[in-house]
Structure 1
Amino acid sequence: MIRHTRLIRLLVVLLVLIGLGSYLSLFLGVTTIQPLEAVREWSSGNLSKETLVLTTLRLPRLLLGLLLGANLAVAGALMQAVTRNPLASPQVFGVNAGASLFVVLALLLFPALGTANLVYFAFFGAMIGGLLVFSFASVRGMTSLKLALVGMAIHLLLTSLTKGLILFNDRITNVLYWLSGSISDSGWIEVRLILPWSIIGLILAFSLAKSLAIFQLGQDVAVGLGQNITRIRMLAAVAVVLLAGVTVAVAGAIGFIGLMVPHIVRRLVGEDYRYVLPISALCGGLLLTYADVLARFIAYPYESPVGIVTALLGAPFFLYLAKRQTRSVI
């Protein structure tokens, strides 16, 4: 078990890094903002262009990055815990791709549909994507390598269908940027939209922490200790659909955070999910915030989708995990 002093030190480091990332996110970019000047103008009520950029664009963007990163990281941790598979994540499990496909279908069939209603299509698509991967991977026994192969195949299939719909329908070509994963055009409307769903999903996930900690001892041990395995899996699946679905509906398919963060956190705090889940939430928000800051400078002064940065970080990490799993099988 992780010692409390070590946990406190880790929390302090994470909070300091989140504070630094928040500062960079708020004050760096095409429009450079001086912190003291912004505070002075805001307190006096005499808002300049820079202060408006800070309050209407940068601040909601920061909050979205922290919240969506937490959603994806916790969703990935839940999937890895329930499947006991280190390669499981919303992207590898087809959840992101399924949500993206149904959101694009909704935009094509119902052009006037608001973002608030798109969330429900994203939830349904996330569920369909996950069920497809789980169904095919479960045939004749599920293994880590088989799950990764089936997951990536379903992910590529659903992504191809999504891009095909976009290419053959000029009305929705503007979502290509969004499908790469972006929070650059988001504002307070998106924050208010995702906040209730994210809170519900995170509370549900954290309520399962103790059961998941027991689950890691083995299914037979968990059943012997009175755990309802079916109930745990169903509730975890609902939490994953809520967290990943609302993220895709607002920011598109941001990949690999749900894969990388739980692995890093387990190395820091061990396998006890009473610590893994909340620390994953902090680390996920931290990672997405810094990735968003980096995305502003890839093609400066133009902004790039944050999904590009997470893919550049996550793809080598996924290959490393897949190679390690292959060695363990051999």
Structure 2
Amino acid sequence: MTAKPVPLILYSLSALVLLFALSLSVGVAQFSWADLFSGSLNDSAELMLVSRLPRTFAIVLTGASLAVAGMMMQILMRNRFVEPSMVGASQSAALGLLLTAIFFPAAALTAKMAAGAVSAMAGMLLFMALIRRLPPTAQLLVPLVGMIFGGVIESVAVFIAYELEMMQMLGVWQQGDFSGVLLGRYELLWLTGVMALLAYLIADQLTIVGLGETVAVNLGLNSRTILWAGLIIVALITSLVVVTVGNIPFIGLVVPNIVSRMMGDKLRESLPAVALMGAGLVLLCDIVGRVLVFPFEIPVATVFGVVGTGVFLWLLMRQKAV
């Protein structure tokens, strides 16, 4: 029995609004809501415009878009245990950015994003070629192969960065963190919102493609075109997030599985809930990372990685029991 979509969306939206307000209030710098609404330009207003709002918007956009990308991958690959960081997409994007920084150090940000997207696409295509050799019944082997594949790509990137003394630069792309987000350094993430909206517009077609090529052909749908469109959207979202705030694992795995168990696999109904829940969970993990060792900060990728690992293992064991 699936949950009704509207109540779940309303609950997720309400939680997101509360977490949004809490995120704006948490931080090391002195901040006062009374000063903010005093009507004069003061330190609280400047802090809100330059740091707090950009950071919170970046978190919301990252969480929502990565959750949507994970849901798309699971539908297109017909496997509930995959997401961009588990099929080599995020690692490939980081490798592409590293190579761009080596050979084209003066490249514009859009060029770096394009290089990351192409690399992420290549990584996903190579992963899909690998899993075609697996037996159809070996569903649990897919994420294990993906983690090994991503580890190999990450090892190549680490070796290159170590040899060229670029480990610090690579670490920025490998470890998702919002502490450096300021006004003027996150706006590229608004494009991830556009990508998520495009995914919603083709949600029905993605759902049909997820049912299999035979069903799609019988319904008159060009499955190859929709598949490529979905992969391009996932690659763009992944590269935009990696180049702006770094890799944050498990969002695209945890959130879609939670929502699909409550609402089913119809993307048109579930994608809004996926986006809202993804944004809310990343906001929650970011707040926890900021207050746990205050005034220091734990990167959100570390906090969500701990949560995501536990949920992923639970999903594996639960699936095995079935």
TM-score normalised to the size of structure 1?
A: 0.89
Distance 2:220 2:173 in 1: 44
**Cα root mean square deviation, aligned:** 2.2
Say if 2:114 is the partner of 1:138.
no
1:18 partnered with 2:16 = yes
Equivalence for 1:168: 163
Give 1:303 deviation, angstroms. Answer: 1.9
Matches within 5 A, 1:224-263: 224-263=218-257
Displacement of 1:218 after TM fit?
Answer: 4.7
Query: What is the match of residue 27 of structure 2?
Result: 29
User: Against the structure 1 CA distance between its residues 212 and 113, is the aligned structure 2 distance closer, same or farther, given a 3 Å change threshold?
Assistant: closer
State the match for 1:291 in structure 2: 285
Query: How many residues end up aligned between the 2 structures?
Result: 321
Residue 20 of structure 1 deviates from its aligned partner by 1.1
Q: What code does the residue aligned with 1:10 have? A: L
| Structure-2 residue corresponding to 1:276 | 270
CA distance in 2, matches of 1:269, 1:130: 27
**Higher deviation after alignment, 138-147 or 223-232:** 138-147
Indicate the larger mover: 116-125 or 141-150. 141-150
Answer yes or no: is 1:148 the counterpart of 2:138: no
- Contact kept, 8 Å, 1:166 with 1:176, in 2: the verdict is no
Counterpart of 2:72, as a letter, is L
Equivalent in the alignment of 2:53: 59
Asked if 2 retains the 8 angstrom alpha-carbon contact of 1:177 and 1:305, the reply is: no
Tell me, in whole angstroms, the C-alpha distance in 2 between the residues paired with 1:90 and 1:282. 19
- Letter of the 1:97 partner, please give it: Q
- In the aligned structure 2, how far is the partner of 1:57 from the partner of 1:180? 20
SS of residue in 2 equivalent to 1:81? helix
SS of structure 2 residue aligned to 1:181: coil
Question: Structure 2: which 5+ runs fail to align?
Answer: none
Q: Is the 8 A contact 1:133 1:147 kept in 2?
A: no
Deviation at 1:174? 4.4
* DSSP 3-state at the match of 1:188: coil
How does the TM-score come out when normalised to structure 2? 0.91
Query: Conserved in 2, the CA contact under 8 Å of 1:167 and 1:173?
Result: no
Structure 1 alignment gaps of length 5 or more? none
User: Moved runs in structure 1, 4+ residues, more than 6 A?
Assistant: none
Aligned to 2:187: 192
Deviation at 1:175, TM superposition (A): 4.2
Q: Indicate how the Cα distance of structure 1 residues 34 and 312 shifts in structure 2: closer, same or farther if over 3 A, else same.
A: same
- 2:94·2:170 contact (CA, 8 Å) conserved in 1? no
Shift of 1:177: 4.2
Match of 2:42 among 34, 44, 47: 47
Q: Given that residues 179 and 253 in structure 1 are in contact (C-alpha distance below 8 angstroms), is that contact kept between their aligned partners in structure 2?
A: yes
> How far apart, CA to CA, are the structure 2 residues paired with 1:36 and 1:117?
43
Matched letter for residue 73 of structure 1:
A
CA contact (8 A) 1:210 1:273 kept: yes
Residues 98 and 126 in structure 1, CA contact (< 8 A), matched pair in contact too:
yes
1:267 matches 2:265: no
* Residues 238/171 of structure 1: CA separation in 2 closer, same or farther (3 Å cut): closer
Take 1:121 and 1:128, find their aligned partners in 2: how far apart are those partners?
Answer: 11
Partner SS for 1:296 = helix
Asked whether the 8 Å contact 1:68–1:247 carries over to 2, the reply is yes
The change in CA–CA distance for 1:140 and 1:151 in structure 2 (over 3 A counts) is closer
Q: Percent identity?
A: 31
Aligned-residue offset at 1:200: 3.8
